[in-house]
Structures are given as structure tokens and as C-alpha cells.
Amino acid sequence: MRHEVTRRALAGMTALIATTLLSATMAAQTPASTSGQTSGSAAPAQPSQPQPGTAPKRNIQFARRIPVTYDNRWEVYGGLNFMNGQAGQNLPKRYNMGGLEGQATYWLTDRIGPAVDLRVDYGTTPVFPNTFQINRPVVRQIIGMGGVQYRGWKNQRFAIQYHGLVGVGAGKFDGGTLGGINAPSHNAAANAVAVGLYSNRVKPVGAFGGSLDINGSYRWAIRLQPDLIVEHYGTEYRQFFSISGGLVWRFGHRQ
């Protein structure tokens, strides 16, 4: 009996508290509602606010492509180079070489500018038949040149340049010519001559050709550059072929 009375008392207190809270809430909302009705005019519409936990919408704008104006002062080029040649005055076959090429141009105008060029190439060359166990020795050329580059036809996507470069090439032709036990000497340079190679020497070299630039932006481009190589390692000038491919980077602003 006592427990039943206690339970009923708690239930009554709970109902009383709930009724009091509900009345207080309704009383707090009534003035705001009344003032809104008696103001005589509707309140201006407010911009919708993002719900909590959601990111606001942003207008995405893509940058416009900067036009290629060719008003850069400097241009540097680096790439892989392929070249053929002949490592001896009377050798019947040519050699193939591969390596690196770097070039820099200082543009005086958008058409013409002085240029410098450096190439380092390695390869193996055929030699005369011999009993010295010397077969396809390694040859190397380091070529430094300077000259002029002229820009011809151009637009936003492509540009064609022409250049004439002259300088010197340092040829090393005795790599791997120490040979076996039957070699004529223990001197690599002497053995190189014995199998038909040039001795190591520095001689005039020229490169005459052009390049095609495929623009990726106003700053950089992909370049393909073929050349006619003229060298004088032997008793006369000889002509060979070279081609390279790589990237061009343009920077600086020409006033």
C-alpha cells in the first residue's frame, strides 16, 4: 500500500513538471509571433544559410590559357641526342652514338638571338679485322659550339627555328683498345691507330639544322631538332646526321 502511494505521488510530480515546462515554452513564443503579426509589413526575405555540417557552394572559375607571345628573353633546351659518324679515316662503316644535348638562346628580338650548344655522346665503333682482340671499342665526343638561332613561322601551338652553329669537338677514340695478349703494344692510342681509328684529337665541328617546338604553354614546349653535322677529324670535311628531342623552357621578359 505504501509503495503504491509513493508511485502515484511520483507520477503526479512528473506530470506537473511537464505541464509547467510546456506552458513556459508557449509563453516565450507568443510575443515574437504577436509582434510579427502586428508589424503591418512582411519582413524581407533572408538569404538561405547553409545547414550545419555542409560546406558553402563555391563558384569554380578556370584560369584562361596565357597566350604564347614569344617575348621571352631566355630559352634553354635539354634533351637526348642521337648522332652517327666515322671513327677512322678509312673505316668502311659508321658508328652510332647517343647522349645528351643542352642549348641556350638569348633572344634579341622575337626572331633572332645568339645561341650556345653542348653535346656529349658515347657509342661503339666497328674497326678493321684484327687478331688483337679489339672489337667495337668505345668512342666519345664532347662538342661545344656557338652561333645564331632564327625563329621562322610560329603560332600559338607551334614554332619553327633554324640555326647555324660552329665550334670544336673533342674526340676520344681509344676507349677499350688495350686489347688482349696479342695487342701490338700496351698503349691504347697506338692500338687504336693499328685497327684503323683516329688518334684522340680536337677538331672543328659544325651543326646546321632546325627545330620544331610544340608548345605546352607560354613557358615550355617539346622540341624535335635534326641537324647536319660537319666535322674535320680526318683529312677532309665529312657530313653526318644528328637528331635530338627534349624540352624547352622560356623565361625572362624582353623589353
Between 210 and 11, the higher pLDDT residue: 210
Range in 30-44, 126-140, 156-170 the model is least confident about: 30-44
Q: How far apart are the first and last CA of the chain?
A: 106
Global pTM?
Answer: 0.73
Q: Quote the pLDDT of residue 8.
A: 61
Could you tell me which residues come within 8 angstroms of residue 122 by beta carbon, excluding any fewer than 6 positions away? Answer: 97, 98, 99, 138, 139, 140
Quick: pLDDT tens for 211-249.
999 999 999 999 999 999 999 999 999 999 999 999 999
The CA angle 242-244-250, to the nearest 5 degrees, is 135
Q: Quote the pLDDT of residue 66.
A: 87
Single out the residue of 118, 215, 233, 219 nearest to residue 165, CA to CA. Answer: 118
User: What sign for the dihedral angle of Cα 113, 118, 124, 130?
Assistant: positive
CA distance 19 to 11: 12
CA distance 231 to 163: 17
Quick: pLDDT tens for 103-159.
999 999 999 999 999 999 999 999 999 888 888 999 999 999 999 999 999 999 999
pLDDT at 82 over 50: yes
pLDDT at 38 over 80: no
pLDDT at 191 over 70: yes
Quick: pLDDT tens for 201-219.
999 999 999 999 999 999 9
Q: Quote the pLDDT of residue 33.
A: 42
CA distance 37 to 34: 5
Domain range summary for the chain, segments of one domain joined by +: 72-253
Q: What is the CATH number of domain 72-253?
A: 2.40.160.20
Quick: pLDDT tens for 99-113.
999 999 999 999 999
